[in-house]
Structure 1
């Protein structure tokens, strides 16, 4: 699963990273891009990337899906969606059919139980950013999103049994523009996991009030 992540790439750097994705000729961010963040949590605003043909759009979205049938924001936030059931589960199936996008990360945090308590780790790609398969909705008049997860790849199972569905650049179009059947073909332990590296993070990351670069550790 993924319940905390980092996105310090912002402004022109974020726009350029999205523009470099296959087939993108134009990137729009009507409300700008968010400032660097080092401890992003569910229900907070995150950048959602939606792609239509050669254009990508970056918008602020609530991290925690709000399906059209929800009457309020009560209940646990739907910040992760299990890929194995995403096509059938009522909370996600409508978005999966027609509203697939990307969440962009510089890395994420995961906790592992030890003899002395839980140790947080910061996980990132060896090079570049991470693009996670996402769904989006506009329930309650708000743009919202959730991150799709799968079983962890063997290389990451030591840390947690679930992992975000990180997409390779050559898989992004299939996810956002393909049929539901095309998208389901990608729901498997991510091959991007082979390029992930990690290190121990600061214990303070457990408190969402802390938001600074030192949380990532090294």
Structure 2
């Protein structure tokens, strides 16, 4: 599961980290990115990598109602290559979704404790994502979903699922403009080992998506 994350880097840092040539239109930082919001993603159009915004919550091109997106913020990597909603996208509509941490909630006797989770050795990273274009009665949406997998030993102490964070050397491979068999894309994802993570407790202030300021990431003891 991945339902909230952050992106606090400045634009130049993102351009350098992901080797992007063009500026990011309307770039903005966020302490509390939530489903239904526009999120920064990178795709390859066959000529170059492009960064821009997609709405978080996949609306497949064949969907009758865009509201389906609220149920499709994540896709299980183990079965995405078999599912009608994701199979075609695994083959040719893969993207990077840019972040620098994500939140997860640990169930305790006192309730759910939110934690902010980061990579130990990198401040910026990319989730493996899928995207699609949906059109209906003159309305066009570009939307995405974050791929997840079983939690690694570190995350198992917090939650049984986790987003797939691509190692730096795997990012280009994931979005290269070639059509893959969905099974190939699935095998690629299952081979990924996540870099070392670290986590700390934050206040329940982050539970509300309306809250989006530095208080979301302040450590509590």
- TM-score normalized with structure 1 length: 0.89
* Residue number among 28, 38, 50 corresponding to 1:35 in the alignment: 28
Question: What is residue 121 of structure 1 aligned with on the other side?
Answer: 115
Cα offsets for 1:41-66 (capped at 9, x unmatched) = 00100011013567220111100111
TM superposition shift of 1:90: 1.2
1:158 correspondence with 2:157:
yes
1:74-153 equivalences under 5 Å are: 74-75=67-68, 76-126=70-120, 127-140=122-135, 141-153=140-152
Whether the 8 Å CA contact 1:45–1:61 is kept in 2: the answer is yes
* Residue number among 35, 59, 62 corresponding to 2:55 in the alignment: 62
Cα offsets for 1:110-166 (capped at 9, x unmatched) = 001111110000001122212111001001321111100010111211111111111
Question: What is residue 12 of structure 2 aligned with on the other side?
Answer: 12
Structure 2: 5+ residue stretches without partners:
none
Whether the 8 Å CA contact 2:81–2:185 is kept in 1: the answer is no
For the residues of structure 2 that align with 1:176 and 1:52, how far apart are their CA atoms?
9
Change (3 A) 1:200 1:190: farther
TM superposition shift of 1:71: 2.1
TM superposition shift of 1:33: 4.6
Cα offsets for 1:25-80 (capped at 9, x unmatched) = x4334x61521100110010001101356722011110011101112222433110
Question: What is residue 208 of structure 2 aligned with on the other side?
Answer: 207
- TM-score normalized with structure 2 length: 0.88
For the residues of structure 2 that align with 1:33 and 1:107, how far apart are their CA atoms?
21
Change (3 A) 1:18 1:33: farther
Structure 1: 5+ residue stretches without partners:
20-25
- Please state whether the residue corresponding to 1:172 is helix, strand or coil: helix
1:171-186 equivalences under 5 Å are: 171-177=170-176, 179-180=180-181, 181-186=183-188
Give runs of ≥4 in structure 1 deviating > 3 Å: none
